[in-house]
Homo-oligomer: A and B are copies of this chain.
Amino acid sequence: MTRSVKPKVPAHSAGDEGNTFKLPEQVDKKAVRQGNRRHELLDAAARRFCREGYDRTSVRDIAEDVGILSGSIYYHFASKEELLVAVHEEGVKRITGEVLRAIAACAEPWERLERACAAHMGTLLDGSDYAQVVIRELPREPGPARTRLILLRDQYEAIFTNLIKDLPLRKGVSLTYLRLLLLGALNSSQGWYQKGNDGDADKPADIAKQFVGLLRNTIDKGDGR
Interface residues of A (CB under 8 A from B): 1-8, 10, 12, 14, 16-17, 20, 29, 33, 36, 51-53, 55-56, 64, 66-69, 110, 140-141, 167-170, 173-174, 177-178, 180-189, 191-192, 207, 210-211, 214-222, 224-225
Query: Can you spell out 7 A-B residue pairs with CB atoms less than 8 angstroms apart?
Result: A1-B10, A3-B16, A110-B220, A173-B219, A185-B185, A216-B225, A217-B224
Complex: how many Å from CA A191 to CA B181?
A: 12
Residues in B whose Cβ lies below 8 Å from that of A7: 67-69
Residues in B whose Cβ lies below 8 Å from that of A214: 173-174, 177-178, 181, 215
Considering the complex, give the chain B residue whose CB is closest to the CB of A216: B220
Q: Separation in Å of the A47 CB from the closest CB of chain B?
A: 13
Residues in B whose Cβ lies below 8 Å from that of A69: 7-8, 10
With A53-B140, A178-B219, A220-B168 in contact, is A183–B173 under 8 Å at CB?
no
Residues in B whose Cβ lies below 8 Å from that of A188: 180, 183-185, 187-188
Complex: how many Å from CA A220 to CA B132?
A: 31
> Which of A66, A170, A186 has the most chain B CB atoms closer than 10 A to its own CB?
A170
Q: Separation in Å of the A224 CB from the closest CB of chain B?
A: 4
The one of B1, B182, B186, B219 in contact with A216, judged by C-beta atoms closer than 8 angstroms, is B219
The one of B16, B167, B174, B185 in contact with A181, judged by C-beta atoms closer than 8 angstroms, is B185
